[in-house]
Amino acid sequence: MAALRVVELYSGVGGMHYALKESGIPAQVVAAVDINTTANRIYQHNFPQTTLWNKTIEGISLDDFNKLSFDMLLMSPPCQPFTRIGLQGDVTDARTKSFLYILQLLPRLHRRPRFILLENVKGFETSCARERLVETLKDCGYLFQEIMLSPTSISDVFPQTGSSGQDSVVHSVSPPEASSQEDGVLYKLETVADVHRKSTQNRDQSLRQIGDFLEPQTEVDIQQFRIPPKTLLRYCLLLDVVKPSCRRSVCFTKGYGRYVEGTGSVLQCQLDTEMQSVFTGLELCSEEQKLERLLKLQLRYFTPREVANLMGFPQSFSFPDQVSILQQYRVLGNSLNVVLVSRLLQLLVAEHEGSHVSADLLSTSSSI
């Protein structure tokens, strides 16, 4: 098959580009577009030969798009208008404007792309933006599928090709909720169902252990990634703590390293200390006693390189020297799982070669 000409919108640090390379599909990214200057600096650092447009998507004319004459469109529009913990502004959110602009342009292109892959968060599937996307795809005669999944469940999830205008949503199956406290004493602010779900995930032998994604100790200044005492005392009950032997983690977001709740897991480095012994009765301790207990776990943040590893970025991916650690966390939190997207691209091209097809990926994007 001839090399596909690919346009990568909302290119960020190049997650889609890496997924395309990982997929093995003969392709060339003829243009990448993003307005985030830090992300663009990282993208150019890793893909110096790719044409990168540092401009708004609305600033690209129909004529400019037509000149690119592309076969595949990859995009990961801003998720903030749809995320469940946000304001859910949907199409009224200014950050959705560029996506709506793309939907206006698509029917007017002289040569529409054969393949489209879009990634977003859970919440997009119930949005007005999604409805407009579906209407546009139908009007353009595309076949499309919608998939909601986690990187832990990418096998056998791509549904059979539907007919033009048909869509189906595939939900990954969540572990059943526990009806009894079978996984030990509850500590921290976790429910019985939380403990059971995490325990079930950690027993899944098909998943690699966290330790496989860690940097060698000799290459990391671990002290700079330790959880500060003030953070430990204030947020210890909210921390999602994992060990190197675990096979799960919380999805890493752009707030990792700055905020605690729901932004990503932290790593327990002292494995001789049982977490239950630290947290049981912790509320009865003085602050000094609490801190003494908590420090025994030697908790630390994952390094940006480790987060990138968990998200499937290859070892060739790197950051320019001038990008700070917090900036690295931020751009990674805005990215996607490379392995998951590469698999979807393989399935998209293999099963639908020769058709106008759009794969609309609705990803819950956990980290492993």
CATH number of the domain encompassing residue 263: 3.90.120.10
Q: Where residue 165 falls among pLDDT bands split at 50, 70, 90?
A: very low
Q: Please spell the DSSP secondary structure of 19-35, one letter per residue.
A: HHHHHT--EEEEEEE--
Contact indicator for 113, 71 with CB cutoff of 8 Å: yes
Asked if residue 174 is part of any domain, the answer here is no
Model confidence at 87: pLDDT above 80: no
Residues 6+ apart with CB under 8 A from 264: 240, 249, 250, 251, 252, 253, 256, 301, 302, 307, 333, 367
Residue 48, pLDDT score: 98
CATH number of the domain encompassing residue 11: 3.40.50.150
- 236 backbone φψ class: left, alpha, beta (φ>0; ψ -120 to 50): alpha
Q: Are 142 and 191 found together in one domain?
A: no
Q: Of residues 291 and 1, which shows the higher confidence score?
A: 291
Mean pLDDT score, 169-180 = 38
Query: Which of 45-59, 235-249, 338-352 has the least mean pLDDT?
Result: 338-352
Query: Which of 91-95, 172-176, 205-209 has the least mean pLDDT?
Result: 172-176
Mean pLDDT score, 343-354 = 81
Model confidence at 345: pLDDT above 80: yes
Pairwise CA distance, residues 296 & 276, whole Å: 12
What share of the chain has pLDDT > 70, as a percent?
A: 84
Residues with catalytic function:
79
Pairwise CA distance, residues 178 & 89, whole Å: 35
Residue 367 token pair: 């980290």
Q: Are 327 and 200 found together in one domain?
A: yes
Q: Where residue 230 falls among pLDDT bands split at 50, 70, 90?
A: very high
Residue 173, pLDDT score: 38
Q: Are 135 and 208 found together in one domain?
A: no
Tell me the whole-structure pTM to 2 decimals: 0.87
Asked if residue 168 is part of any domain, the answer here is no
Q: Are 187 and 326 found together in one domain?
A: yes
Query: Which of 124-133, 137-146, 229-238, 349-358 has the least mean pLDDT?
Result: 349-358
Residue 207, domain extent: 153-158+183-333
Pairwise CA distance, residues 246 & 199, whole Å: 9
Q: Of residues 55 and 168, which shows the higher confidence score?
A: 55
DSSP code of residue 175: P
Asked if residue 315 is part of any domain, the answer here is yes
Pairwise CA distance, residues 266 & 283, whole Å: 21
Q: Are 119 and 234 found together in one domain?
A: no
Q: Of residues 103 and 355, which shows the higher confidence score?
A: 103
Residue 275 token pair: 């977490």
Model confidence at 161: pLDDT above 90: no
Q: Are 53 and 143 found together in one domain?
A: yes
| Beta pairing class for 52-53 and 4-9 | unpaired
Pairwise CA distance, residues 111 & 66, whole Å: 7
Asked if residue 281 is part of any domain, the answer here is yes
Q: Are 318 and 343 found together in one domain?
A: no
Residue 79, pLDDT score: 80
Q: Are 282 and 306 found together in one domain?
A: yes
Asked if residue 309 is part of any domain, the answer here is yes
Asked if residue 176 is part of any domain, the answer here is no
Q: Are 70 and 141 found together in one domain?
A: yes
Q: Where residue 360 falls among pLDDT bands split at 50, 70, 90?
A: low
Q: Are 286 and 349 found together in one domain?
A: no
Hey, CA dihedral for 332, 335, 336, 341, is it positive or negative?
negative
Asked if residue 358 is part of any domain, the answer here is no
Q: Where residue 154 falls among pLDDT bands split at 50, 70, 90?
A: low
Q: Are 129 and 203 found together in one domain?
A: no
Query: Which of 4-8, 12-16, 98-102, 178-182 has the least mean pLDDT?
Result: 178-182
Q: Per residue in 339-362, is it b (16+ CB within 10 Å) or e — as a string? A: bbbbbbbbbbbeebeeebbbbbbb
Phi then psi for 360, rounded to 5 degrees? -100, 105
Q: How many domains does the chain divide into?
A: 2
Asked if residue 37 is part of any domain, the answer here is yes
Residue 206 token pair: 């098909």
Model confidence at 226: pLDDT above 80: yes
Q: Are 102 and 72 found together in one domain?
A: yes
Average pLDDT score, the chain: 86
